[in-house]
Structure 1
């Protein structure tokens, strides 16, 4: 009677997406089956899947199902560490094989017969050796990653968005999109709108699971994946390790450090929380003149006519949004067209960013040397705590100053324009909303029963902060 077998193949990393590793393993395993006269029922594959990561491996789970169901008598793998590399998977595999009387046939190893005590003993020892090798490799890799981080080097991984696979060469099309995204974010454009724009121009990215070499339909950008990109210190030319910036990076930055820090500060505020995109100019910005609740763009006052309604009480008012939008826009543009419009800019004395960068770099180097001095026994635990606290406090002050230096002025494009109306018409809805929110508080009152003409007196536009 011919013995039924399954083949299992896996590699931990497949950065090129070529599946060369699993193909070679499969060829060797199929050759083993042919030599032994076994009939291969299925080949299960986990490509680019680390067993140590703890993530679910579909191919491995399929092998267990076949073993437990009694469909196969042999499982063929290239080596034991391809099948299991953590204690949990090892126990599940061994218990399933023992219960079903299944043999593990290893191309680079022994045949493990779980029906005998000797076979189980050999399997336990081989599993312990495999785990030791994994842990030693992990320790070496962590040490190498830490050293690379403190030297500002990249330590591998998927192609970063905005750069080529080497992580050093900038891809200008993607980098331009990132720069625009930072500018838009600091101008008040929500993350969801940036994601929508990137999807429309079909930007590819590992963050959006659009990494090169992967098959299938690409996932779309979301506000959250855009947040991950814009929060990444890589784009400011900074190298982080375990969430902490430790060095200047070897690769070229996409934006200035102060721009990145301003964006991170912005993303930490409530305003940066992903939200549904507004479809009306004043949705959520204007207030009800009756109760003070926010006004939202609702359905239609009349069929196919957009309108504004009080969010707190349906009956306070429902009025057409177009004339209200035109009036508010006209008031804002009139203010921005005055000779003294430049006084609206919230400019402050810009700090010497070069000096801030130099001091911040010096402090990071000092933090590293303090850790070495403590390891050498030069400093006591109390001394290193005091020194570290002082250095980190000053570093936080410098980073806040850099963030202030990177903030953009929402009003700048309009205040400096010769044709304010033309610039206004060319801005995105979210940018126009940010300008209104910066300059004014808008209150909408009921138009009055039976009134069909627009009365400017029912819409109050007062300067921000004015009672």
Structure 2
């Protein structure tokens, strides 16, 4: 039997539940009767949380071993006074850890309120000082862009693209990147070598996981928001804590970080909206691909909310309007084909003024992001319903005016070549679902009204197809 063993406590990284293999091996050896004295520098090196302290004391009592410390007295847990002393040292150690944690949290919150980059491992696309790592940022921009606007983009497809895979669901425009854990460790080893320290093992360059892609898409830092995470507050659902991370100033406005955003605000909020879709939350495939022509595109004729698919029907969750998908889609497609067959099609879609289009897009994005922020604040019970209504009315009025101007200047680059085709109707019929949805949204707003009770014949008047002003 060993006369004694020195416990060399692992460095603490701020997580009280961190697995400590040496600590577990020590307790196992004590239970097996291999140790009669445990030596540590001081009590805080022995325990990291309340559970560790209780286990040490109970094991020392049960196995009749002595606890001795380089900076403290010996403790014999086989008697009541020894166990009392151990409890006191344990409580003091935990208090020191908690006070240190609170002090660090206050410092991190202060950094966030100043808009300074948080400390810790750098996210993909940013250096530790907040500068943009351009080749990584290019991949992040494309990941956000595709997930925000492309109905056929899946999280699994994005993960495969970053991993360098190919396939029908893998977007080719996303550049391959090494796994971030590997990149970060290589960078750390370079610093260790410069400091005269030996390098640590570098993880293999495996595939990107879907959970990592979700973490990237959820991170408010990419939109330029300053963030702070209170790790002690677990009262909110995890899907909402991403919003709660955004630091607000005294006026309730998000604090902007002192770094360059990789994506614009609207793109980030559109991604959050898509990630929060009930169909994605409840399915087990992780797919957010649109599978139906009007889901999330058509609107309820009563409340203006976008309808969802429910089996073979379109349904407004708020008003209960429930319509057969096939009937509505057939009528909308018929009207779009008629619009595309007009000889004056090309004349109604002038070439745009690119600088002005960019300015309009930026203004619309900022205003739509304000609406989405207000909606998230309302969901989290930060603002009242009348505040949300006021923001929506103000910003939607401005957006409607800007969109009218944009349609008068718009080009046709995002419509899959349908409008420029020799036969636009045929090009539309041959296009994929995503392009068809864009063409419909370009020309009209579709509003679904209730079908008359008792009528078994489709009534076109119940599907309001409102042309948008193009020029």
The counterpart of 2:274, out of the listed 254, 266, 279, is 266
Q: 2:418, 2:369 → 1: CA distance?
A: 37
Residue 353 of structure 1: which of 340, 355, 363 is its match?
363
Find the counterpart in structure 2 of residue 176 from structure 1: 138
The answer to whether the 8 A contact 2:367-2:395 is kept is no
Matched residue, 1:240: 227
Deviation at 1:90, TM superposition (A): 0.6
Contact 2:179-2:208 at 8 Å conserved across structures:
no
Task: For 1:146 and 1:88, locate their aligned partners in 2 and report how far apart those are by CA, in whole Å.
Answer: 28
Q: Runs of 5+ in structure 2 lacking a partner?
A: 165-175, 189-200, 230-243, 249-254, 294-310, 313-336, 350-356, 404-409, 423-430, 441-462, 466-471
Q: Indicate whether 1:105 and 2:68 are aligned.
A: yes
Question: 1:190, 1:272 within 8 Å by CA — same for their partners in 2?
Answer: no
For residue 254 of structure 1, what is the aligned residue in structure 2?
Answer: 262
Aligned to 1:444: none
Match of 1:231 in 2: 218
Alignment partner of 2:209 out of 222, 227, 231: 222
Per-residue Cα deviation, 1:355-406 (whole angstroms, up to 9, x for no partner): 957996xx99xx9xxxxxxxxxxxxxxxxxx995379637974998799999
Q: What's 1:203 paired with?
A: 178
Deviation for aligned residue 1:204 = 2.6
Pick from 32, 50, 54 the counterpart of residue 69 of structure 1: 32
- 1:413-463 deviation digits (Å, cap 9, x = unpaired): 455699979xxxxxxxxx9553356569xxxxxxxxxxxxxxxxxxxxxxx
Q: Does 1:191 align with 2:155?
A: yes
Q: Which has the larger radius of gyration?
A: 1
Distance in 1 (CA, whole Å) between partners of 2:268 and 2:393 is 14
Correspondence for 2:168: none
Contact (CA 8 Å) 1:258, 1:403: kept in 2 or not? Answer: no
Q: Which is strand-richer, 1 or 2?
A: 1
Q: 1:121–1:415: structure 2 CA closer, same or farther, 3 Å change rule?
A: closer
Other-structure match for 1:435: 435
Residue 197 (structure 1) shift: 0.6
Shift of residue 149, structure 1, vs aligned partner: 1.9
8 Å contact kept, 2:158–2:213: yes
In 2 relative to 1, CA 391–414 (structure 1 residues): closer, same or farther, beyond 3 Å? closer
Residue 83 in 1 paired to residue 34 in 2? no
| Whole-Å separation in 1 of the counterparts to 2:68 and 2:160 | 51
What secondary structure does 1:11 align onto? Answer: coil
Structure 1 residue 93, shift from structure 2 partner? 0.9
Distance 2:158 2:216 in 1: 11
**Equivalenced residues, count:** 324
Distance 1:129 1:417 in 2: 72
Q: In structure 2, how many angstroms separate the alpha carbons of the residues matched to 1:395 and 1:261?
A: 19
Q: Residue 220 and residue 106 in structure 1: after superposition, are their counterparts in 2 closer, same or farther (change >3 A)?
A: farther
Alignment check: 8 A CA contact 1:162 1:171 kept: yes
Alignment partners' CA distance in 2, 1:350 and 1:192: 33
